[in-house]
Structure 1
Amino acid sequence: MTRTTTTQQIPTPVQDPELSSFLLRLRKKNTDTSSHKQTVDSYYNYWDSDRKKTDNNDNSVAERRSNSDKLTNHFYDLVTDFYEYGWGTSFHFARMFRESTFKSCVAQHENFLALKLGLKPGMECIDVGCGVGGPLREIAKFSGAYITGLNNNAYQVERCRHLANQLGLSSLCKAVKGDFQQMPFPSNSLDAAYAIEATCHAARLENVYGEVFRVLKPGAQFACYEWLTTEKYNEQDPAQRQIIHDVEEGNSISKLYTIPQCLAALRAVGFEIEEYCDLADPDSPLAAAQDPWYLPLQGSFSMNMEQLHRWRMTPLGRWMTDKMVLTLETLRVAPAGTRKVSSLLNLAADALVKSGEQHLMTPMFFFLVRKPANATSPPGGAAAAGANGISRIEAVGH
């Protein structure tokens, strides 16, 4: 099925990165309801051909891959404010250690990468797909390293810059708008790189991994938490396929890769794999010390303060948010299509819980890889995109 709407230039919804209130952000978007609705409709159109027939046929997947940059841009124009309202400024999961707060688990998850990379003052590191910069700011505070976030969504870049300035971290934290499959950085220029649940949005993993390889100095390391399907997932099982399809649609992922495919992609671009493991594995050595990673979405019957603090993430909290935005849209306070965005995120949350319960996918497949000391470019020659882009001083100089 051909969907010409996917190739049209969709206007960006009106957004103000300095607004702190979820309600005020919805009202701002409501000043141009047409742009918001076009973005909503465009995103949904990407999935029309196989929403009911979830076999992820080759044509549908190929079209989503070829338009992955537009798909993801539309998605984050729509969901960023919801994410911050319900989750905070770090858009990722974490190992949920018992007797630890959600916030501390998230920070520990981020700083684990800083420790693995050996980040320290004076080093220049890139956050690949930085969102609004929650991890970037935490890792900068923890390590003292200079961190530059790369993000192709203009609103998130501006939001990232605003929050860094607001928190007094602009001397260590920068944000650059650009495609992580064509990075605007010189080759062999960065001391380290990390990505947290972001590279799954790439059209192909080799594209983004190859660019990370190119911009790293020889001998430098790349650490990542990747979204992947596990060996438990059976593509031929209709029920499992529906769950994963809902995860993909609700999170703007053209098609999830498998763990072996991820490792093969890393090797193909030239990385040496030093360490990897599935931190969401229910049979991991520390599993007994954790609650499931999806517990914040699943909810809990516990009435302790930590659970109450996370109420917006729970099924009840999401239901209340859904009814709130429906009311605001009906009263024309929120723009048309806002309720569809809420429904999309509820679809994603429910699918993630189901996939987590069966361990069909992991949002935290950790790997640490190194660019060989004698390497300067990916095998076979990577695209030279970025070699003549913004200079190192402009991009990551401080």
Structure 2
Amino acid sequence: MSNTGAMDLAFGVGGKIEKVQVLSAVDKYEKYHVLHGGEEEDRKANYTDMVNKYYDLVTSFYEFGWGESFHFAHRWKGESLRESIKRHEHFLALQLGLKPGQKVLDVGCGIGGPLREISRFSSTSITGLNINAYQITRGKELNRIAGVDKTCDFVKADFMKMPFPDNSFDAVYAIEATCHAPDVYGCYKEIYRVLKPGQYFAAYEWCMTDAFDPSNPEHQKIKAEIELGDGLPDIRLTTKCLEALKQAGFEVIWEKDIAVDSVLPWYLPLDTSHFSQSSFRLTAVGRFFTRNMVKAMEYVGIAPKGSLRVQEFLEKAAEGLLAGGKKEIFTPMYFFLARKPASEN
């Protein structure tokens, strides 16, 4: 996992936001969400501001607790979280059939953990698309450290309006990223446009499952907690993602909620009753330590005011994700492999 320490966490909070403005940014971010009186339409209309604020505020927390790859994974017994995350990324690369020398796009790449792993695994050149300037700055530095800065790079842009010509990439993937899109059809249509004919798009999507009951107040509360804690305008049903793919013009090769077949539950790292030495910072003891460390650093002025509030809404997200996973109403790994037809009618 990442070697980032307490001081890196403290100095990273707020990203590109001025430290004195972090608290007001937290206020503005929270007010987008249902649990603070926000509306879905406002989140969709202002998704760029909401998502940018979210990742400026949370990126250093994610890297501190999770490492460089901010996603869950299908997991086997005896496998560490880090090992499962790498295999999850390798699986996607294999499904895409990546070959050395290909030009690949990572849509919503974070700080580039999957990008670096998949590039080294497949000997491909990968462009990471990201709307957040702080994550790109951090990702470029990590690319340099990993020695992939000659073959991998980042572009700051909105995945709803990509700055690439038609038919630019040999493959496209997204890992738990297009869930931030205000309109999934529009996002998939842009991916379709920049992908070369006959080539593949694969993704892991965050979705509500068929077990989700919108009339159930508990289900709605869980959904709202996940949206607040993870910067989401809405969480779509798996069926809506599938419909949008087909409407965008893709041929769906196969699709499945991979969480269903996981030997160990994907939410295990969030379960406070579970102890793991390899992912200590995610355990109950680790979270307690982090919360009090952040509180102390904010009190003495090392971390900006509002840092503890960020830690708190991330913990609220963990509660929502854990409950959603246990009730099987939410999945972070609805997987699909889709193909752009070789010739369009």
Report if TM-score (shorter chain) is over 0.5.
yes
- Structure whose alpha-carbon radius of gyration is higher: 1
What are the within-5 Å matches in structure 2 for residues 106-185 of structure 1? Answer: 106-185=85-164
What are the within-5 Å matches in structure 2 for residues 367-382 of structure 1? Answer: 367-375=336-344
Q: 1:260 aligns with which of 233, 239, 255?
A: 239
What are the within-5 Å matches in structure 2 for residues 200-349 of structure 1? Answer: 200-281=179-260, 284=261, 287=262, 290-301=263-274, 307-349=276-318
Q: Is the 8 A contact 1:274 1:369 kept in 2?
A: yes
1:52-110 Cα deviation digits (max 9, x unpaired): 67xx8xxx111111111111110000000000000000000001211111111000000
TM-score (norm. length: structure 1): 0.82
Which residue number in structure 2 is paired with residue 354 of structure 1?
323
How many equivalent residue pairs? Answer: 341
Cα distance in 2 for partners of 1:190, 1:32 equals 36
1:222-259 Cα deviation digits (max 9, x unpaired): 00000000011101000111011101111011110001
Instruction: Give unpaired runs (5+ residues) of structure 2.
Output: none
Cα distance in 1 for partners of 2:297, 2:83 equals 33
Which residue number in structure 2 is paired with residue 45 of structure 1?
31
Cα distance in 1 for partners of 2:29, 2:285 equals 26
Cα distance in 1 for partners of 2:13, 2:284 equals 26
Instruction: Give unpaired runs (5+ residues) of structure 1.
Output: 1-18, 377-398
Q: CA deviation at 1:330?
A: 1.3
Q: Is the 8 A contact 1:66 1:203 kept in 2?
A: yes
Identity of aligned residues (%): 42
Q: CA deviation at 1:300?
A: 4.7
Give the match's secondary structure for 1:362.
strand
Cα distance in 2 for partners of 1:43, 1:362 equals 24
Cα distance in 1 for partners of 2:245, 2:18 equals 43
Cα distance in 2 for partners of 1:27, 1:165 equals 21
Q: Is the 8 A contact 2:9 2:61 kept in 1?
A: no
Which residue number in structure 1 is paired with residue 170 of structure 2?
191
Cα distance in 2 for partners of 1:29, 1:367 equals 34
Moved more, 291-300 or 33-42: 33-42
Moved more, 318-327 or 293-302: 293-302
Give the match's secondary structure for 2:120.
helix
* Letter matched to residue 367 of structure 1: F
Give the match's secondary structure for 2:259.
coil
TM-score (norm. length: structure 2): 0.95
When residues 144 and 355 of structure 1 are mapped into structure 2, their CA distance, relative to the original with a 3 A threshold, is same
